[in-house]
Structures are given as structure tokens and as C-alpha cells.
């Protein structure tokens, strides 16, 4: 029933922007239906304030907010006048308001069935959950949206009933405020921002050393300590594109290995990661083209961010991408084994002899 009421209220919010709304809301059938809807909202707030009959030893918090909002809604209901006395509304807007009132009212009646009206019948197992403070806050937050919608509708009615809109909007604001958790979060100490020192790539790094170097480079790039320039940003954009390309190759190697191991349940996540990496790489290449439009500022920038990006590429890249003449391949990267060709080459064709006369 709540979903149906939400659908009706969404439609009512959309009608606020229609040209014919001013005529429909000022009709004699719309205002009484608003009064009926306000009465249903007041019933909801009353039940929350009373805890659906479950006593509250604290006597404060969300129930106080619901009581205050209920009083404002009752004043608005009084300004809107009596409820309609017709069984069938005469306008489309009045029919929508009536349907909303019925849906919300049925939802409240269903909630009330979990609680005993007399002491002879026990409450249901979920009654304590419905009456809890968390459930009350959640329901009050939802009601604040509904009350706000009815308030905006009431403000468009003729004088003096339009004054009910202000009361309803105040009630919606109160409900929203009291629906928030009033418990202050504990104060936690803020960790100071620490930038680690550079860990240059070294010969024979093991997995632990390589991961520590990668982590240090990432943290240093996230918080650069030196000034940057166009040259630096152009270099970093190219480094990011190269890293995306290296990551894409690594993920595709993992996909190939998983296919060999027949662990197909892991394939969707890796394929999605490969797609995301390729999309990010295309974005960085677009940024590179934009930076290349700036004349000058070429070359290798001699500052920290560029050096950190170079360290990251060296550690992430395969052996053929590393600097020539320097063996910086970590020991955890196994060399690629090449298998000799087992298929013998075909013998050369013998050229047919010509018979000379």
C-alpha cells in the first residue's frame, strides 16, 4: 500500500507544474479531499507519537517530533474544512487525492493489526520492530515527503485555506528533522596526512618490495609535494595512459589463465574490469590530445610527480618496456618461456631439370 501511495503522490507532485492545475485545485471537490488526506497523515503521526500503544520509558526523541508535527497537521486539517460527503469524487484531481488517502489509510490499518486493541489479545512478533525508534524514524522520514507534497498542494488553494499549506510544510520540516538520528557520533582522531618517501626501483625486487614501491608511488602521486607545470601534467597524462595499457594486458593475461583453469565464475568480473580499464585509457588519451594543443613545454620534467610516475611504470610494465641496459625486472615476474618449433621445415623443392637439345 505504501508503494501505491508513493505512486499517487509522485503523480500529484508532477501535476503541480501543469497549466490546468490552478483550475483543478481551486475546485470545490479538491479542498475537502485535501482535508481527508491531512487527516490520514495526522493519524500516522499520532500512532508514531504513541508508539502504536507501546510505552516509551524515555519519552523523548522521535515521538516528540511526531507529536509536534501531528498538532500542526491537525490545525491545517481544520483550516481545510470538512471532509467530502460524496462517495465518488467529481474531478480527476479529487479522485487522485481520494486514492492516496485510501492507500495510506489501508497501510496504517495493516500496521495497526500487529498491535492489540485490548489486553485480551497479544501483539504480533513484529510489533516491537514496528514500534522501535529506528522504524519510527524511517516512517517519519517517509511521511515528511508526503506531508510536504500535500503542503505544496494546499498552498495553491484559494484564501484562507492556502494558509494550511504553510502549517503542513512546517510539519514536514519537523518530521524530517526528528527522523534523523539524534545520537551524536563519537569523536575520532583525524590521522595526519603522511606522504612516504620515494622507493626507487632496485635490481632483484621481490613481491613485497615491489608492492611497497607501487604503494609509495601511488600515495606520492595522490599528494604531490612539488609545484607542477604544463610539462608535468602532459607527462603524467601519458604515464596514466601507459599504465592503463599495462593494466589491460595484465587483466587479459589473467582472463587467459582463468580459462585454462576452467574457473569461469571469475570471468565476468575480470571482463568488466578490462572494459573499464580500456575506457579509462581512452579518456586519458583524449586528455593527452588536449594537452598537446598547448605549444611548447615539452620534454621530461625534472620533478617529483614525473619521477613517481616513471617508477610506477617501471614496476608495472613487462620486461620489454623497461629501460635498456638496466635489469630492474622484479624477481616475482617470471620470464616468458619460449618453446622451440617442433614442426620440421619442409625440404626445399627440387627444381626440375630441363632437357637441353
pLDDT of residue 330: 38
**Closest-CA residue to 171 (of 67, 81, 100):** 67
pLDDT of residue 9: 78
* Contact residues for 4 (Cβ-Cβ < 8 A; gap 6+): 103
Contact indicator for 156, 22 with CB cutoff of 8 Å:
yes
Contact indicator for 224, 305 with CB cutoff of 8 Å:
yes
Phi, psi (rounded to 5 degrees) for 120: -80, -20
Residue 34: all three cell numbers together: 485535501
Domain residue extents for the chain: 2-113+132-179, 207-321
Residue 218: all three cell numbers together: 601511488
Give residue 329's region: left, alpha or beta (phi > 0; psi -120 to 50). Answer: beta
Model-level pTM? 0.49
Contact indicator for 141, 179 with CB cutoff of 8 Å:
yes
pLDDT of residue 107: 82
pLDDT along the chain (357 residues), means of 10: 73 79 82 90 88 69 87 92 77 85 84 66 69 82 89 88 91 88 53 73 86 86 71 82 89 90 87 91 86 64 77 71 39 40 51 52
* Contact residues for 304 (Cβ-Cβ < 8 A; gap 6+): 198, 220, 224, 225, 226
CA neighbours within 13 Å on the CB side: how many for 223?
Answer: 10
* Contact residues for 252 (Cβ-Cβ < 8 A; gap 6+): 274
CA-to-CA distance for 209 and 202, rounded, in angstroms? Answer: 9
Contact indicator for 146, 5 with CB cutoff of 8 Å:
yes
Residue 122: all three cell numbers together: 497479544
Give residue 61's region: left, alpha or beta (phi > 0; psi -120 to 50). Answer: left
* Contact residues for 30 (Cβ-Cβ < 8 A; gap 6+): 24, 91, 93, 94, 97, 157
Residue whose C-alpha cell reads 469524487 in the numeric block: 89
- The string of DSSP letters for 187-226 reads P-PPPPP--PPP----TT--HHHHHHHHHHHHHHHHS--S
The dihedral sign for the CA sequence 342, 343, 345, 346: positive
Amino acid at each position: 500500500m505504501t508503494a501505491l501511495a508513493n505512486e499517487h503522490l509522485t503523480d500529484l507532485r508532477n501535476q503541480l507544474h501543469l497549466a490546468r492545475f490552478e483550475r483543478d485545485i481551486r475546485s470545490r471537490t479538491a479542498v475537502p479531499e485535501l482535508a481527508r488526506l491531512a487527516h490520514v497523515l495526522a493519524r500516522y503521526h499520532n500512532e508514531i507519537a504513541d508508539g502504536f500503544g507501546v510505552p516509551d520509558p524515555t519519552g523523548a526523541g522521535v515521538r516528540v517530533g511526531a507529536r509536534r508535527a501531528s498538532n500542526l497537521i491537525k490545525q491545517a486539517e481544520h483550516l481545510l474544512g470538512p471532509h467530502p460527503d460524496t462517495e465518488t469524487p467529481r474531478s480527476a484531481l479529487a479522485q487522485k487525492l481520494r486514492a492516496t488517502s485510501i492507500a495510506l489509510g489501508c497501510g496504517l490499518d495493516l500496521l495497526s493489526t500487529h498491535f492489540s486493541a485490548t489486553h485480551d489479545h497479544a501483539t504480533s512478533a513484529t510489533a516491537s520492530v514496528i514500534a522501535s525508534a529506528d522504524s519510527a524514524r524511517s516512517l517519519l522520514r517517509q511521511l515528511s515527503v508526503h506531508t510536504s507534497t500535500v503542503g505544496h498542494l494546499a498552498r495553491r488553494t484559494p484564501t484562507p485555506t492556502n494558509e494550511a499549506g504553510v502549517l503542513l510544510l512546517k510539519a514536514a520540516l519537523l518530521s524530517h528533522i526528528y527522523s534523523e538520528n539524534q545520537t551524536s557520533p563519537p569523536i575520532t582522531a583525524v590521522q595526519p596526512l603522511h606522504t612516504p618517501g620515494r622507493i626507487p626501483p632496485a635490481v632483484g625486487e621481490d613481491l613485497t618490495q615491489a608492492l611497497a614501491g607501487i604503494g609509495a608511488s601511488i600515495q606520492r602521486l595522490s599528494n604531490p609535494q612539488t609545484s607542477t607545470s604544463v610539462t608535468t601534467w602532459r607527462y603524467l597524462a601519458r604515464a596514466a595512459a601507459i599504465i592503463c595499457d599495462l593494466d589491460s594486458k595484465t587483466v587479459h593475461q589473467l582472463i587467459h589463465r582463468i580459462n585454462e583453469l576452467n574457473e569461469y565464475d571469475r570471468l565476468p568480473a575480470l571482463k568488466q574490469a578490462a572494459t573499464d580499464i580500456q575506457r579509462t585509457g581512452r579518456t586519458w588519451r583524449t586528455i593527452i590530445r588536449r594537452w598537446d594543443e598547448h605549444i611548447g613545454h615539452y620534454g621530461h620534467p625534472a620533478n617529483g610527480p614525473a619521477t613517481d610516475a616513471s617508477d610506477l611504470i617501471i614496476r608495472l610494465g613487462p620486461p620489454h618496456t623497461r629501460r635498456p641496459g638496466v635489469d630492474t625486472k622484479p624477481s616475482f615476474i617470471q620470464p616468458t618461456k619460449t618453446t622451440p618449433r617442433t614442426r620440421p621445415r619442409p625440404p626445399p623443392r627440387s627444381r626440375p631439370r630441363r632437357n637441353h637439345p
